[in-house]
Amino acid sequence: MPSPASLADLVNRLSARQDAMVDLLGALVTSESPSDDPALLAATTDLVAERGQALLGRAPERLATTGAPALRWSLPPTPDVADDVGDAVRPVVLLAHLDTVWPAGTTERWPFSVEGDHATGPGTFDMKAGLVQALFALAELDDSGLAHPEVVLLVTADEEIGSPAGRALVEDAAQGARAVLVLEASAPCGALKVARKGVGNYWLHVTGRAAHAGLEPELGVNALVAAAGLVLELAGLADAAAGTTVTPTLARAGSAQNTVPASASVAVDVRAASTAEQTRVDDALRALTVEGGATVRVEGGINRPPLEEALATDLLALARRAAAGCGLAPPDAARVGGGSDGNFTAALGVPTLDGLGAVGGGAHAEGEHVLVSTMPERAALLAALVVELAEDQA
């Protein structure tokens, strides 16, 4: 095992590169990348590829998908690791995404800025700072001489919309991996995410019959009224004790103010900590019916399975050991409701630890921010954890 002094030096070496980390973060935030804009995603992907190649001395592989672009870097194992364990060595996979929830033009009113220890701008916390930290951690592993296994960094561009194209790439990268480390933003105070709820996304589409609201409303079948009844039923599908939430989030109905609405739709967000709960709610949603002549059709389904804590327990212990070796405080553990691509890898049975990215706050909210002084520390923690994984499987 590397001496603690060797790991501790990672913090010093990366702290000397803090300004460069902030510079790259500013460039990435300024290059807007909403999930639904192919041109902006392509431009930001090119920027990540260019700046990543400058840092790592190697170009990424550009992965072909039917949707959003993706990049993959592979850092080969150091000779001592390859010689010691030969074919038994398994890669460590780092997951990051470059898309954000912020629409094009957001930076015109809210540009990237740094004031004191706070860097802010759309996508800083979720999760462009995590991507920056991953690139600098890889560069440091390349330069430091510390023993490490093969490290694969996968950067996708559709995580915020459920990874319709990226999921297959994520699952393929995780096959046979020793561990998956996810660069999503940390929980409060830098806590690592050891469990995530599974996610389900649904639309309830109700069909009725239009009629004039003033002349003969009795001839219509009001789809909006039927949909409202369904919304009231949704509360009964949640289970607070099990941590299951069923939340109507969007609604639309009708075609004119003076017309009985012939159609209505309600979006439903489902979060559950177990696959059994996901299945229970999915079955219940598909069994919903409406009265009065209307019909209901359910669209969507389970998007992400849960990231169950058992898949993160051993990695958390290694992360705490890595933190100690770097002279950092041991990170706390958090269990959260939001999903990530780590849900997919954990469902494959691959050890997965999430929340290794930025320390800050405000994900998906106006004013999201990163604590700049923590960026070198988190990059060092990531690099040290990779080193610990080499020792752990040797």
Fold that domain 198-304 belongs to in CATH: Alpha-Beta Plaits (3.30.70)
How many Å apart are CA 312 and CA 270, to the nearest integer? 23
Where would I find the H helices in the chain? 4-15, 18-30, 38-56, 79-85, 106-109, 129-144, 166-174, 223-234, 275-286, 313-325, 342-347, 375-393
Centre a 10 Å sphere on the Cβ of residue 113 and count the other Cβ atoms it contains: 13
- Answer yes or no: same fold for 4-195+306-393 and 198-304: no
Max CA distance (Å), the chain = 85
How many Å apart are CA 139 and CA 132, to the nearest integer? 11
Sequence spans of domains, the chain:
4-195+306-393, 198-304
Bond into 127 cis (ω within 30): yes
Q: Which helix (H) or strand (E) holds 258?
A: none
Total residue length of the chain: 394
Question: Kindly report the CA angle at 296 between 165 and 278, in degrees rounded to 5?
Answer: 50
Q: Which helix (H) or strand (E) holds 93?
A: strand 92-97
How many Å apart are CA 320 and CA 329, to the nearest integer? 8
Fold that domain 4-195+306-393 belongs to in CATH: Aminopeptidase (3.40.630)
How many Å apart are CA 156 and CA 151, to the nearest integer? 16
How many Å apart are CA 344 and CA 119, to the nearest integer? 30
pTM for this entry = 0.88
Instruction: Return the pLDDT at 2.
Output: 45
User: pLDDT 10s digit of each residue in the chain, 394 long?
Assistant: 444 348 889 999 999 999 999 999 999 999 999 999 999 999 999 999 999 999 999 999 999 888 899 999 999 999 877 655 444 579 999 999 999 999 999 999 999 999 999 999 999 999 999 999 999 999 999 998 898 999 999 999 999 999 999 999 999 999 999 999 999 999 999 999 999 999 999 999 999 999 999 999 999 999 999 999 999 999 999 999 999 999 999 999 999 999 999 999 999 999 999 999 999 999 999 999 998 999 999 999 999 999 999 999 999 999 999 999 999 999 999 999 888 999 999 999 999 999 999 999 999 999 999 999 999 999 999 999 999 998 776 5
Instruction: Return the pLDDT at 293.
Output: 95
Instruction: Return the pLDDT at 84.
Output: 52
Burial class of residue 193 in the structure, from the number of CB atoms within 10 Å of its CB (0-12 exposed, 13-18 middle, 19+ buried): buried
Match 């898949």 to its residue by tokens. Answer: 311
How many Å apart are CA 184 and CA 180, to the nearest integer? 12
Instruction: Return the pLDDT at 393.
Output: 62
Instruction: Return the pLDDT at 4.
Output: 39
